[in-house]
Structure 1
Amino acid sequence: MSVVVLDGSTVRAFVADEAAFARSVEARFAALDANGDGVLSRGELRRALESFRLLDGAGGFGSDEPAPLPAEVAALYDAVFEQFDADRSGAVDRAEFRDEMRRIMLAVADGLGSQPLQVAVDDEGGSFLLEAAQHEAAAIAAKVDAERKAKAAADGASADAK
C-alpha cells in the first residue's frame, strides 16, 4: 500500500498524456486478459472486479452490513460489464477498455476536485491513481532538471562574458 497526494489535475494530466495513459491501459488490459485472446470476457472482468473486494460486506471497509446476495452481486458485475462492452459484442476489446477507463478516470478527477488529497493506493498489480501521481512527479522532476540546466548554462555564459 502506498499513499500519494493528488488532485483532479494530476489525474487529468495523466489521462491527457496519450502515450503514458495508453501504456498503462495496455498493461492493465494484458494482465486482465487471462487467456490472451485479445478481449476481456465477462468472467475475466468479473475476476478483476472481485479482486477489489468491494462487496465483501460483513465488516468490509468497516461496514456492519451483511454481504450482498449472490444475485445482487451478479447483477452488479453484469451492469459493469455492459458499461465496458459498448458495442454489445459480448466481449470487451482494447478500445472499449481504454475508452471506459478514460471515462472513469476523468470522473475520478472531477470527484477529486482541486484540493490535494492523500489517497491510499494498492501498489501490487498497479493502480491508475498511483501511475497518475508518478506521472506528475516525473513531470515536476523534469521541469526542475530543465530549470537547473538552464540556470547552469546562464551562469556559465555570464562567467565566460567576464
Structure 2
Amino acid sequence: MSVACLDGPTVMDFVNDSETFNKCIKEHFDMLDADGDGVISRCELEDRSGKLASKDYELQSTEEIRGLYDTLFDKFDVDRNGTIDREEFTSMMREIILAKARAIGNFPVLVILQGDSFLMRAVTRKKDS
C-alpha cells in the first residue's frame, strides 16, 4: 500500500484514456476470471474474497460482502445470466471509478491505495505523462 495525492480530474482523465483504462480493465478482469471462461461468477468473487481475508486484509463480514455482490449483480448483470462478462465489468468499473472521481472532487486529497488498484493506476498514469 502507498500514500498518494489524488484528485477527481486525474481519475476522470484515467477513465477517458481508453487505451490505458481498457488495458487495466483487461488485467483486472482476467485476474478475477479464475477459470478463464470469459465471465466472472459469484463463486470466483467469493473465492477471491476468501483469499484476501486469509492475507489478513481487514474486510467486512461475509454477510456484508454477499450484500455487495447482490447489489453488483443486480445492477450490472444486464443479461441476468448470473455472471459478469467483460462488457458488463467495463461498464461497472467505469461507473464506480467515475463516482469515486466525483466524490473526491477537484481538490487534491491524500489517500492510501493498493499498488494494483484502479486509483493507483490513475496516479501512476499522471506521473508518467
TM-score range, shorter chain: 0.7 to 0.9
Q: Secondary structure at the match of 1:77?
A: helix
> Cα 1:48–1:81, aligned 2, differ >3 Å: closer, same or farther?
farther
Question: Superposed, which structure 2 residues align to 1:35-74 within 5 Å?
Answer: 35-49=35-49, 51=52, 53-56=58-61, 71=63, 73-74=65-66
How far apart in 1 are the matches of 2:107 and 2:49? Answer: 28
CA drift of 1:74 comes to 3.0
Task: Give the letter aligned to residue 39 of structure 1.
Answer: V
Unaligned runs of 5+ in 2: none
CA drift of 1:71 comes to 4.9
Verify the 8 A CA contact 1:45 1:81 in the aligned structure 2: no
Q: Show the counterpart of 2:73.
A: 81
Q: Deviations over 1:85-143 (max 9, x none)?
A: 122121110000011100000000000001101111111xx10010000111111xxxx
Match of 2:123 among 130, 133, 136: 133
How far apart in 2 are the matches of 1:49 and 1:128? Answer: 18
How far apart in 2 are the matches of 1:82 and 1:90? Answer: 9
How far apart in 1 are the matches of 2:47 and 2:28? Answer: 13
Task: Give the letter aligned to residue 122 of structure 2.
Answer: A
Q: Deviations over 1:63-85 (max 9, x none)?
A: xxxxxxx5555333222232231
Greater Cα offset, 71-80 or 32-41: 71-80
Query: Of the two, which has the highest radius of gyration?
Result: 1
TM-score (norm 1): 0.70
Confirm or deny that 1:27 pairs with 2:64.
no
TM-score (norm 2): 0.86
RMSD of aligned residue pairs (Cα, Å): 1.8
How far apart in 1 are the matches of 2:77 and 2:49? Answer: 15
How far apart in 2 are the matches of 1:72 and 1:135? Answer: 32
Task: Report % sequence identity.
Answer: 42
Q: Secondary structure at the match of 1:15?
A: helix
Instruction: Name which structure has the greater RCO, CA cutoff 8 Å, separation 6+.
Output: 2
